[in-house]
Amino acid sequence: MRHFIIISNTVDTSASLSINSLTAFGRLDVICRCVTASFYLSDGFRKNVTLSIIFLKTGKIMQIQGEEVRGINPDERAIAGVLRKVFSGKNYPGIIFYSESFDNFISNYDPIVLTDTKSQSENLLHQYNTYIIGDQAGFSEEFKQQLDLYPKASLGSRIYLSSQTITILNYLIDRFEQSLTL
Ligand SMILES: C[S@@+](CC[C@H](N)C(=O)[O-])C[C@H]1O[C@@H](n2cnc3c(N)ncnc32)[C@H](O)[C@@H]1O
């Protein structure tokens, strides 16, 4: 199993979202791209992935479980349409949406934080299966303190988009798993 956790600093899950303007109430476009990067291959869907999104603005958490989720397509507007339904309180298979503090939520996991800090390296990655990733704004100074407890890993000195970070992680984990089965 792989578990990606995205920290969304700006999306307002209580707003009435339009799929024609994914940036009107925070960067929902970033979240939609993270959904595509987490689950989609050109020829398949990664059932072994869970994506959690921590919406700091509203204290909500959304968890999308690859094993259970049905009927989502890789394009951003279609994903935004699904998220909009869930935000409005409708049930959707494989997606749960609820209120919980980050501290309570994260106490259930043993995560590693993805950071571009140069002193960290990617060596630790394979010892974990839960990865915390920032959105377009990264981690605020205040939030960084909540992450102090957790180990950090870097993918190098280039700063990648959140969705690109997930794509790279999926690739590295694929390679690692393939090397174990050779
Ligand atoms: C677009 S970046 C955030 C940029 C933000 N302006 C900052 O300075 O933190 C989004 C997230 O991707 C991850 N990320 C980007 N580049 C990375 C790298 N080289 N190594 C590890 N994680 C990276 C981090 O979790 C980061 O918070």
Q: Where are the domains of the chain?
A: 2-181
The enclosing H or E element of 106 equals helix 102-106
Q: What is the pTM of this model?
A: 0.95
Section 53-78 average pLDDT: 94
Distance 154 CA to ligand 1 centre (A): 9
Which one of 3.40.50.300, 3.40.630.40, 3.40.1280.10, 2.60.40.10 gives the CATH number of domain 2-181?
3.40.1280.10
| Mean pLDDT, the chain, integer | 93
Ligand 1 pocket residue status of 134, Cβ below 6 Å: yes
φ and ψ at 178, to 5 degrees?
-65, -40
Say if CB 139 and CB 147 are below 8 A apart: yes
Distance 118 CA to ligand 1 centre (A): 11
Distance 85 CA to ligand 1 centre (A): 29
Query: Can you tell me which atom of ligand 1 is nearest the CA of 156?
Result: 19
For residue 182, what pLDDT is reported?
61
For residue 95, what pLDDT is reported?
98
DSSP 3-state assignment of 105? Answer: helix
Q: Whose CA is nearest to atom 25 of ligand 1?
A: 133
Section 107-129 average pLDDT: 86
For residue 128, what pLDDT is reported?
95
Residue 44, Cβ neighbours under 10 Å: how many?
A: 8
Would you state the structure tokens that stand for residue 34, as one six-digit string?
């993270």
Q: Is the pLDDT of residue 123 over 90?
A: no
User: Cα–Cα distance between 139 and 89 in angstroms, integer?
Assistant: 28
CA distances for 73 relative to 60, 87, 181, angstroms: 23, 18, 30
Say if CB 174 and CB 133 are below 8 A apart: no
Ligand 1 pocket residue status of 30, Cβ below 6 Å: no
Q: In terms of pLDDT, which residue wins out, 95 or 117?
A: 95
Distance 108 CA to ligand 1 centre (A): 24
Ligand 1 pocket residue status of 140, Cβ below 6 Å: no
φ and ψ at 28, to 5 degrees?
-65, -25
For residue 22, what pLDDT is reported?
81
Ligand 1 pocket residue status of 13, Cβ below 6 Å: no
Q: Is the pLDDT of residue 120 over 70?
A: no
Q: Is the pLDDT of residue 69 over 80?
A: yes
Say if CB 51 and CB 64 are below 8 A apart: yes
Q: Is the pLDDT of residue 10 over 70?
A: yes
